[in-house]
Amino acid sequence: MAGADPGRAAQKNQPAANIRQIALEMAKAFRALALYPIGHPQLKTIFHASYQKIFFDMSKVNEVAFTVGKDGMSNQGRALETALEALTEFSTEMHIRQVRKFGLRSNLNERDLVDFLRMLLIPAEQFRAGKKIEEYFRAKQISTLWVNEVDFAKVFTGGKAAEAQDQELDEASKDFLEARVLVESLDLAGDDGQALSILGKISAEQARLAGEQKLPELWYVTGAASDFCELKRGRFPQACSKALELLKTAARPQFLAWLIERYNFSDVNSGKAFERYFDQAGEPAVEAAVLRLLAPESVFFQKQIISFLRGRGEKARPFIEARLKDPKTPQARKLIYMTGEFKNPESASILIEFAAGEDKVLKLEAIRALGKIKSRNATQALVGMLHWKNADNESRLALVQLFGEQQESLAVPGLIELLKSRRQPPELREKAAEALGKIKSREALSVLTEVLSKPGFLRKPAPEKVRLKAAEALHKIGGERAEFILSELARGEDRLAQYCRQLTAAKSGKRG
C-alpha cells in the first residue's frame, strides 16, 4: 500500500496565504466537531462553510500536503503560524495520534474530511499500537485524503460505496435525530400544555441519554430546554417550571464535568450558552467549576473558569472556603487567590490563618488576597503582621509593598519602625521609605530626616540606597521642611547630593 510520497504532488503557484487558510479552516472545523454532536445544525453550518473555503483553494492545485510536528505544522518546509490557538490545538491532536503527514487532493469530498477529523476525537492511546489509522481509513473508505504516505486512492475507486452512504446515520446521529424532533416540537409548541407534554418526553430522553453516557446528545436536548426556559418563561410559566426541573435533574457530576471542560475552551458566543445553563442548574454547577479549578494546571489555562467563579461571588465562596478548610486539598494557592477575588470581609479570618502559617508560598498568596479585601479587620491584620515574630523578610516585603500601593495610613507607625531599625535588611528599609513616600505621611518627616542626616562619631550612616529612597520619599511628601532638607543635601558632591539636585530640579520644572 505504501508507495511514493503522495506529498510530492505538484503544488506550483499555490499562494502561501491559501495554504495557511486551508490549515486554519480544518482547525476551525475540528474545534466545531469537538464542541457539537454530529448532526447539530450549527455544526453543519460551520463545517460546510469551512469545507467550501478549503475546496475553493484546493481547486487551484492537484494536492496540498502538510507535515505535523509536536511544535506545529509545515508545508514544503515552511512552518505555519503557531500563534493561532486553534491551529496549535489541531496540530497537537494529530501529533499525539501518530499523524505525521497528511495530504488533501483537489477532489476532496466533505464526507472524507468529516471522517478524518472525527478520527482525531478517538482517544489517543488507541493509536499507540497496531495500524489504527490504516484500519480507520479502510473502514471509512477515505480516498480523497491520505495520511503518513499510505494512499487509498487505488483501492477505493468511485468514492464511498452506496452501503457506506446508507450507513451515514450511525448511532450517534440517530440519537441526535430523535432528539432534534423533540427540540423542534418544543420550539413549535403553541401553548403551555403542549409544551409541558413535549418536555415530559424530553425528560425521558434525557434519562436515557444520561444512562448511556451520550453526553453530546444530552447537552443538545438540555441546551434546548435551557433556551426554552430563558426565552419563554413569560408565555409558558408551567412549562418553564418543568424545564427548570429538567435542567436541575440533568446536572449530574459527570455531565457537569464534561460541560465545564468544554466551557473552559469555548469562545464568547458558545460560552454564554454554557453559563446560562450553569446558572439555571445552580450550586452543582458552581461546585463542578470549583473542582475543575483544582486541576493541576496553570491558571493561564483556567481563565474562563476563574472568570465564571469570580462572577458568581457569594454563590461560589462557600465552596472555595470549604475546600480551603480541608488540609488535604491540593491547589490551595488557587483557592486562596479566588477567595481574595471575592473581596468579602468575612473571608479575612481564613486568609489570616494561611498568612500565619509555615508555607511561604501560601503565606504570600494570603497576604495578597487580604490586600484585596477593603475592611478594617483585614487591614489591621495586615499591619499587625509586620510585628509577627515568625514573619520572614519576604512576607514583610510583600506587606510593605502592599501598604505603599494602597497608601494605607494605618501602616505608617510600623513602616517608620522598619525604616529606623538598623537590624532590618537594607532592601526592607528601602521599601519602607518608598511606601512612606507613596502614603505621603507627614508623620514620617522626622524619621526620614534622621536617616538622611549626617551620623554622629560612633554611628554609621544608613546604606546609600536607603538614603536615596528616603530623599525620594521627602520629595513626594513635599512642603517647606522637606524642600529645605533636600536643598541642603544637594550642596554636596556625592551620589545623594546629585540625586537631590535632580529631585529639586524636577520640582522647579513642575512649578515653572
Mean pLDDT of 140-150: 83
- Determine the Cα–Cα distance for residues 136 and 115; give it in Å rounded to an integer: 9
* pLDDT at residue 456, as a whole number: 59
The amino acid at residue 299 is V
The residue ranges of every structural domain in the chain are 6-159, 171-250, 262-385, 389-479
Q: Is the pLDDT of residue 511 over 80?
A: no
- Least confident residue range of 167-176, 232-241, 435-444, 454-463: 167-176
* pLDDT at residue 41, as a whole number: 65
* CATH T-level fold of 262-385: Leucine-rich Repeat Variant (1.25.10)
CA angle 53, 54, 56 (to 5 degrees): 65
CA 262 to chain centre: 12
Q: What are the tens digits of pLDDT across the range 401-425?
A: 999 999 999 999 999 999 998 889 9
Percent of the chain residues topping a pLDDT of 70: 87
* pLDDT at residue 163, as a whole number: 46
Mean pLDDT of 449-460: 76
Name the CATH architecture for the domain at 389-479. Answer: Alpha Horseshoe (1.25)
* pLDDT at residue 252, as a whole number: 94
Q: Is the pLDDT of residue 12 over 90?
A: no
pTM of the model: 0.62
Q: Is the pLDDT of residue 5 over 60?
A: no
Spatial strand order of the sheet with 101-105 comes to 78-79, 72-75, 63-69, 101-105, 145-147
Q: Is the pLDDT of residue 4 over 80?
A: no
- Determine the Cα–Cα distance for residues 298 and 493; give it in Å rounded to an integer: 51
Q: What are the tens digits of pLDDT across the range 467-508?
A: 999 999 999 998 889 889 899 888 888 899 999 999 888 766
Mean pLDDT of 342-370: 91
Do 262-385 and 389-479 come out as alike in CATH topology? yes
Q: Is the pLDDT of residue 33 over 70?
A: yes
The amino acid at residue 41 is P
* pLDDT at residue 151, as a whole number: 57
* pLDDT at residue 340, as a whole number: 92
| Residues with Cβ within 8 Å of residue 17, at least 6 apart in sequence | none
Q: What are the tens digits of pLDDT across the range 213-240?
A: 888 889 989 999 999 998 887 889 999 9
- Least confident residue range of 160-169, 310-319, 422-431: 160-169
Cα-flanking dihedrals φ and ψ of residue 173, to 5°? -75, -30
